Structure 1
């Protein structure tokens, strides 16, 4: 039985965009202070031209998240909807994931995303939190200006 309510995760974020597959979305990820808090901030313009449509920050995490309820993320943004996507060892293709959307409102706030709320995308695999290996925050799927800062990421029960 768990006695802790949270387990802090320390992602090392990398920037990835749709240009890896021919898209033309542009952006950047920078470590900076946002509203008084250290964060990784993803900004840019998502374009659906040339079969594109995303920018993201992603981090490899090898963690056994079994026994936890979900992922809580501290975010500040521009009021747009973003995706938190996770990959497990069962995922074999880059376009496969388990995903959950959230709104990054202005000002810092925490968003709790229960594992039960993640949906499989282009895979028949069942989500197994014991095999969590990658997490990403994505601006995706429509033309818009992305601006989302991530100041914390943790498992919660």
Structure 2
């Protein structure tokens, strides 16, 4: 295993571009008829530069999510994360549970992903999500770390106010 982390985003590029060179995207459930809405901004929260996802998750019209997502490589390529054992996120929020979603080359439907849940506390903290904690959602294939395509931070599954800030995301040994 390497001693070095693989930095996904340390906020060293102009918003919305991540450190790896691809842009963060705001995805609302309106793409599937839902009514959730939100914003993705960059600024300082409690002394740290971060991007911040805020809004409301609504269950109306079969909705139920807000997401900010990032392609791990440009185009339709894949990223081999076998060298690392999980995802580490510096996060602050409103005390609600959120998900980290991974998509691989095996994922072909919008509702499929590999998911791990964490709580975004009101104080900055580092969340560790080992790849073994990611559960397949509506897909039978196991998580293939050698074929990652996309990473998302998601507010999902219930009506609630979304407020989550992320200052750093990295793959960790």
Q: After TM superposition, is the score higher than 0.5?
A: yes
Higher mean C-alpha deviation, range 31-40 or range 145-154: 31-40
Do structure 1's residue 110 and structure 2's residue 121 form an aligned pair? no
User: For 1:82-104, what per-residue CA distance to the aligned partner results, in whole angstroms no more than 9, with x for missing partners?
Assistant: 00000011111111100000000
* Partner Cα separation in structure 1 for residue 144 and residue 32 of structure 2: 28
Equivalent residue, structure 2, for 1:9 = 8
* Stretches of structure 1 lacking an aligned partner (at least 5 in a row): none
Higher mean C-alpha deviation, range 60-69 or range 127-136: 60-69
* Stretches of structure 2 lacking an aligned partner (at least 5 in a row): 10-17, 74-78
Question: When you count strand as a share of all residues, which structure comes out higher?
Answer: 1
The answer (yes or no) to whether the contact 2:35–2:58 under 8 Å persists in 1 is yes
- TM-score under structure 2 normalisation? 0.87
- TM-score under structure 1 normalisation? 0.96
Equivalent residue, structure 2, for 1:123 = 139
Equivalent residue, structure 2, for 1:81 = 97
User: For 1:35-90, what per-residue CA distance to the aligned partner results, in whole angstroms no more than 9, with x for missing partners?
Assistant: 11111100001100110001111000032110211000110000000000000111
The answer (yes or no) to whether the contact 1:13–1:40 under 8 Å persists in 2 is no
Tell me by how many angstroms 1:126 deviates.
Answer: 1.2
Do structure 1's residue 19 and structure 2's residue 30 form an aligned pair? yes
* Partner Cα separation in structure 2 for residue 137 and residue 26 of structure 1: 15
The answer (yes or no) to whether the contact 1:40–1:149 under 8 Å persists in 2 is yes
The answer (yes or no) to whether the contact 1:70–1:114 under 8 Å persists in 2 is yes
Alignment coverage as a number of residue pairs: 156
Q: Hey, which bits of structure 1, 4+ residues long, moved more than 3 A? A: none
